[in-house]
Amino acid sequence: MTDFVLEGRRVFVAGHRGMVGSACVRRLQRENCEVLVAGREEVDLTRQADVESWMERNKPDVVIVAAAKVGGILANDSFPAEFLYQNLMIESHLIHAAYKVGVAKLLFLGSSCIYPREAAQPIREDALLTGPLEKTNEWYAIAKIAGIKLCQAYRKQYGCDFISAMPCNLYGPGDNFHPTGSHVIPGLLRRFHEAKLAGAESVTCWGTGAPRREFLYVDDLADACVFLLKTYSESEHINVGTGDDITIKELAEEIRRVTGFEGSLVWDASKPDGTMLKRMDVSRLGELGWRASTPFTEGVRKAYDCFVGAQC
């Protein structure tokens, strides 16, 4: 099959202010296409009429659905209605409007939390819907599974070239560094940095430190998105990751080194661990010819530089 041509196309990045959307905008600047963005003040993606009228007026050729309500393990667990409702609305409105205005290609982004809590490792794409979800993020997961199914349904019924990609845990510039609402890498970068400045003796991390996670630098994801837009056109969603995982304890040690904090680590087991394992099988993407390129320490350092304001 010949590759989809991005050159000269109007590419709408929904969610361009977020970590993933802003990385997609950076990456698309090398593609000779026209990048379209719309701030929340211009179009509220949770409102169907806003989305449909913006899409009618701007007629993109390509849409990347990088807009979502996201957050770390505590945020997901604490705001279930927001995570389920907002994500269902955002994806439904974008996918349906893309169909109505005849978008040539749409890429929907989800997350590895769509897979069953006890999925066999590494997790293959066909593990979807084979068992119960992890409770701490099931609201977000259900919304993202519905997004995959929407893309498949519009492909099946209307022949739309809508594809879905499921990245592992992401990190990098533009992340949310909120002390409690964020994911583990930005959360710990902030906590270690502040502890270093305050001369604190210890830093408290959540859970037991035993869970393993696979982390992908966000600019690598953006590169994979461009690759998939050009080369992938199948109903089944596809995993995007590095194929490697580390324990949260190892991660905390890495963040201690990068931030230069010299005190000790304390583990607060009253906070949830979440799922113990979620390493993805990325062999399908590898066979297509894509792999991640940013070494982990370099990526964490760049995320830290962004947090301390050196460059972002």
Query: Residues in the site for ligand GDP, rule: CB under 6 A?
Result: 72-73, 113, 137, 169, 182-184, 187-188, 205-207, 211, 213, 248, 271-274
Backbone φ, ψ for residue 167 (5° rounding): -80, 155
Min. distance of Cβ 183 from ligand GDP in angstroms?
A: 3
Which residue number, 80 or 272, has a Cβ lying nearer to ligand GDP? 272
Min. distance of Cβ 95 from ligand GDP in angstroms?
A: 24
Beta bridge pairs of residue 267: 205
- Are the C-beta atoms of residues 111 and 141 closer than 8 Å to each other? yes
Tokens of 276: 């113990």
Min. distance of Cβ 302 from ligand GDP in angstroms?
A: 18
Which residue number, 68 or 103, has a Cβ lying nearer to ligand GDP? 68
**Known active-site residue 99:** no
Which residue number, 27 or 213, has a Cβ lying nearer to ligand GDP? 213
Single out the catalytic residue among 85, 99, 115, 140. 140
Min. distance of Cβ 287 from ligand GDP in angstroms?
A: 26
Residue given tokens 């370099």 in the structure block: 298
The H or E element containing residue 180 is none
Angle at 167 between CA 222 and CA 236, to 5 degrees: 105
Q: Put the strands of the sheet holding 10-14 in their side by side order.
A: 34-36, 10-14, 62-65, 105-109, 162-167, 238-240
Which residue number, 52 or 250, has a Cβ lying nearer to ligand GDP? 250
Name the DSSP class of 168.
-
Active-site residue numbers?
A: 140
